[in-house]
Copies of this chain bind each other. A is one copy, B any other.
Amino acid sequence: MALIVHKYGGTSMGSIERIQNVARRVAKWHAAGHKVVVVPSAMSGETNRLLGLAREISAQADPRELDMIAATGEQVSVGLLAIALKSIGTDAVSYAGWQVPVRTDRAYTKARILSIDDAKVRADLDARRVVIITGFQGIDDLGNITTLGRGGSDTSAVAVAAALGADECLIYTDVDGVYTTDPRVVPEARRLEKVTFEEMLEMASLGSKVLQIRSVEFAGKYKVKTRVLSSLTPPDLPLGIEASSGTLITFEEDENMEQAVISGIAFNRDEAKITVTKVPDRPGIAFQILGPVAEANIDVDMIIQNQSVDGMTDFSFTVHRNEYQRAMDVLNNKVKPAINAGDVIGDPKIAKVSVVGIGMRSHVGLASLMFRTLSEEGINIQMISTSEIKISVVIEDKYMELAVRALHKAFGLDQSGDVPAVA
C-alpha cells in the first residue's frame, strides 16, 4: 500500500457537488488501502473575490494582511472536503498550513516553503484518516500566515509529498495530462504519457499552464514522482485505470520510453519586446540598462545583445506585457538619459514560441529545422534564445498559431506524424 498525495484545483472544488465528487474519488483510493493526503485549492473564484475586497479598500494593501485574507479560501475548502469525506464514511481531518505546520519565509504573497513537519500527518495516516491540508499557504517564523502566490497549491502538494516521502503526487486538474502543445491550437496534439522533469520545467516556464513552475522545481529537487491527470473522469473510475492515466513526470531519461527528440511546443502572448537603440558598447552597460528595470520589480525574460558596429549596439529584451508600459517609462526617463542611448522602441504585439525536448542534448539540426519551418511559412524571427533543451523564438503575434501548428507537424508531434527529418 502506498502513500499518495492528491491535489485538486479550484475548478475541481468549485461547488458542493464537485467537492462531493472529490470526496468519492479520494475515498476510493483510501478504501484500496492507500494512505492519502489531499491538498485542495480554494473554491474557484474565491481567492479573486477575497483579494478584490482588499483592493476595493487599497491598491497598496499590506501584503501580510492580504495573506491573512486570501488564506481563508483554502481553509473553507479543507473543512468542506473533510465533512464530505466523513459523510460517506471515510474518516478525515483538515489542517490549515499553520497547523501542520508548513513553515515558509516571510515573503508575504509569494512565500517559499522552508520545511514541513510530518509528525501530525503521519499519526493521522497511521490511524487510517485521510489528511487534508490547505494548499497555497504556511506560517513564517513570526507566527504570521503566508501565502505562496498564485498556483501555490501545486507547490504545496509537491512539497507535502516530498516531506512525507510519498510514493506519488497526483495533480488532478481540468486537463487530462501534458500535451505536445495546446490542443485548442493544434487538434493533432498528443498527450504525453511521460515527460522529464526538465522538459516540464521548460514547458511551465514557457507558459504551459498545466503546473505552476515552482511545483515542478520542487518535484525535481526532491525527486517527487508527480502525475498530472484529469479530475473530470467519473469518481468511481477503476483505480487501476486512473492510476496510470494522465502524464507522469519522470527524473531519469531512460524512463522516457517515448524517446522523442522534442516533447512539445510551448507558446505565449504574455510578453512584450523592448529595444534600446544606439547603446555604447562598454563594460557594465547591460547592468546600467537592466538595473533600473529590476529595481522597479520588473522581471526580464529573453535578453539579446548583438555584436556591436562602430562601438554602438542595440540591446533588446522581453518583459511581461502587463509591465510593458512601466518598463518603457523607466527606460525613457532613467536609462536613456543616463547612458546617452538612442530611441527606446517597444512592441507588445509579439509571441514567443518554443520547442522543448530532452533529446536536444544529443541531436543536432533541430534549430535549423525550426528556422526552416518558420521560413517556409513566411514568418520572420525577431529574437532567438536557446537553452540546453529548448529553442525559443519571438515572432509577430498574429503568426503564433500558424507557427505552432507548423512546428508541431515538422517535429513529428502530430498523432499521425512521421518521424522528424533530423539526424
Binding site for B on A (CB under 8 A): 16, 19-20, 50, 53-54, 56-58, 60-62, 64-66, 68-69, 71-73, 75-76, 78-80, 82-84, 86-87, 93-94, 96, 98-99, 143-145
Copies of this protein in the assembly total 2
Taking each of A57, A60, A94, which has the highest tally of chain B beta carbons within 10 Å of its own beta carbon? A57
Question: Contacts A68-B75, A68-B79 given: A57-B96 contact, CB under 8 Å?
Answer: no
Q: Are B96 and A76 in contact (CB under 8 A)?
A: no
Question: Contacts A57-B83, A57-B87 given: A75-B72 contact, CB under 8 Å?
Answer: yes
Q: How far is the CA of A66 from the CA of B69 in the complex (A)?
A: 19
Q: Are A94 and B72 in contact (CB under 8 A)?
A: no
In chain B, what residue has the closest Cβ to A62? B86
A58 contact from B54, B83, B93, B145, Cβ within 8 A: B83
Q: How far is the CA of A80 from the CA of B65 in the complex (A)?
A: 7
Q: Are B76 and A69 in contact (CB under 8 A)?
A: yes
Q: How far is the CA of A80 from the CA of B56 in the complex (A)?
A: 10
Least distance between A247 CB and chain B CB atoms (Å) = 32
Q: Are B19 and A57 in contact (CB under 8 A)?
A: yes
Chain B neighbourhood of A143, CB < 8 A = 99
Q: Are B58 and A87 in contact (CB under 8 A)?
A: yes
A76 contact from B53, B79, B99, Cβ within 8 A: B53
Question: Contacts A58-B84, A72-B72, A98-B98 given: A65-B79 contact, CB under 8 Å?
Answer: yes
Chain B neighbourhood of A19, CB < 8 A = 57
Chain B neighbourhood of A79, CB < 8 A = 54, 65-66, 68-69
Chain B neighbourhood of A99, CB < 8 A = 143-144
Chain B neighbourhood of A64, CB < 8 A = 93
Chain B neighbourhood of A20, CB < 8 A = 57
A65 contact from B16, B56, B69, B83, Cβ within 8 A: B83
A57-B87, A65-B86, A65-B94 known; 6 new pairs, CB 8 Å cut-off, are A58-B87, A61-B83, A62-B83, A68-B82, A75-B75, A96-B145
Chain B neighbourhood of A78, CB < 8 A = 68
Q: Are A69 and B58 in contact (CB under 8 A)?
A: no
Q: How far is the CA of A421 from the CA of B191 in the complex (A)?
A: 91
Q: Are A84 and B72 in contact (CB under 8 A)?
A: no
Question: Contacts A66-B79, A68-B79, A75-B69 given: A56-B16 contact, CB under 8 Å?
Answer: yes
Chain B neighbourhood of A16, CB < 8 A = 53, 56-57
Q: Are A82 and B62 in contact (CB under 8 A)?
A: yes
Q: How far is the CA of A83 from the CA of B144 in the complex (A)?
A: 16
Q: How far is the CA of A391 from the CA of B254 in the complex (A)?
A: 87
- Can you list 22 contacts pairing A with B, beta carbon distance less than 8 Å? A50-B76, A53-B76, A53-B80, A54-B80, A57-B87, A58-B84, A58-B86, A61-B83, A62-B83, A62-B86, A64-B93, A65-B83, A65-B94, A66-B79, A68-B78, A68-B79, A69-B79, A72-B75, A72-B76, A75-B75, A99-B143, A99-B144
Q: How far is the CA of A98 from the CA of B145 in the complex (A)?
A: 11
Q: How far is the CA of A327 from the CA of B190 in the complex (A)?
A: 65
Least distance between A29 CB and chain B CB atoms (Å) = 20
Least distance between A84 CB and chain B CB atoms (Å) = 5
Q: Are A57 and B84 in contact (CB under 8 A)?
A: yes
Q: Are A96 and B83 in contact (CB under 8 A)?
A: no
